[in-house]
Amino acid sequence: MTPRFTDARLEQFREQLRAERESTVRLMAGLGEDIRRIVDARQDSNVDDEHDPEGSTIAFERSQSDALLRQSRDKLSQITAALSRLDAGSFGVCESCGRDIPEARLVARPSASLCVDCASRA
């Protein structure tokens, strides 16, 4: 069986995934900073979340940052999984139906683990 991608092509995907991992880690560090800052602000102002308008803004900011942090964590685990698929030789194969994920999709999103059909059904 001929491998679908050349080693050089796989190396490009690996580079792309590493770059994405790096920027995601940096983003998460920034979000962690934001959350710490928000928590500090709340302690300083000693506000009542439910009745003080500033308190609810802080709570809103906090939940936004938390949501972003969760998204980034998911993205990071997808990137890590894609990197192990690269190592295992199963990169670019749909985890659900086992068909090849189109190369254009992998270029746009190298961390994709499902083909378009399976992703739209998920």
Interface positions with Zn ion (CB under 5 A): 94, 96-97, 115, 118
> Which neighbouring-strand residues pair with 100?
93
In the complex, what is the shortest distance from the CB of residue 118 to Zn ion, in angstroms, rounded to a whole number?
A: 3
d(CA 44, CA 116): 49
Alpha carbon distance 60, 73 (integer Å): 20
8 or 122: whose CB is closer to Zn ion? 122
Smallest distance, Å, CB 103 to Zn ion?
A: 15
Q: Between residues 89 and 98, which has the closer beta carbon with respect to Zn ion?
A: 98
Beta carbons within 10 angstroms of residue 34's beta carbon: 17
Counting Cβ atoms within 10 Å, is residue 84 exposed (0-12), middle (13-18) or buried (19+)?
exposed
CB nearer to Zn ion: pick between 27 and 81: 81
Nearer to Zn ion, 18 or 99 (CB): 99
The least CB distance from residue 105 to Zn ion, in Å, is 11
Closest approach, Cβ 49 to Zn ion, in A, equals: 45
Q: Check: CB of residue 12 under 8 Å from CB of residue 91.
A: no
